[in-house]
Amino acid sequence: MVGRVMRFFVMVIVWFLALSVGLVIVYKFVPPPVTMTMILDDHGITKSWRSLSSIDRNMVDAAIAAEDGKFCSHNGFDRQAIEKAIQRNAKGGRIRGGSTISQQTAKNVFLWQNGGYVRKAFEAWFTVLIENIWGKRRIMEVYLNVAETGIGTYGVEEGARRYYKHSAARLSAAEAARIAAVLPLPKERAAVDPSGFTRRYGNTIAARIGTVRKGGLDACVYD
């Protein structure tokens, strides 16, 4: 009996490993058709896939400035951010993970939004896979296409059209920064005529875009 149970769990693990690696390989070349977040969204799905070459560099740099300044230098995990998150989590409240863009992409494409430490464990596995199979440029491309940018709105192309009535191929620094400011809470923030924290945060991100570019913090995406 014990042997059968062990064999069952071994088979489950083998199948999971094979399926997860297979999906990551496929999505290196094919746009993910839908995500769990999209499926569970009561507001429907509005999305358009755009290659990274069709997304303004300001948007890439705004995402790095807002979400992950070490995107090009880490292996998928920002250890300092994780340590800070652990310290915050020890005090109780909502679990925070100190997530990088790579981790957020892994979660958005392959997993779900909640789930605590169990989901974080799966997220770590998929993060390792996409870092090694996709590379940074593909991670950024997928991230900017699946991230929620508004109510029922996914990807920066639809975000740009929702807020500015034009394509993500031509976003000013201010426009890109405001979309980036919306990303953490897309159902509660708006990039058009933002006020309070969203406005201040957007202005901060816009100011950092120049630093990202001059410092080569986006080099892994464009070199």
pLDDT at 161: 97
Q: Give the domain range for residue 15.
A: 1-30
Confidence class for position 113, pLDDT limits 50, 70, 90 = confident
CATH number at 197 reads 1.10.3810.10
Give the model's pLDDT for residue 210. 96
Q: Per mean pLDDT, which range of 13-17, 117-121, 160-164, 212-216 is the poorest?
A: 117-121
Predicted local distance difference test score (pLDDT) of residue 196? 83
57 and 128 in one domain?
A: yes
CA pair distance 3, 74, nearest whole angstrom:
41
What is the helix, strand, coil percentage profile of the chain, to 5?
60, 5, 35
Average pLDDT in the 48-73 region?
97
Give the number of domains in the chain. 2
98 and 9: one domain?
Answer: no
- Mean of all residue pLDDT scores within the chain: 92
Write down the pTM of the prediction: 0.91
Mean pLDDT of 159-164: 96
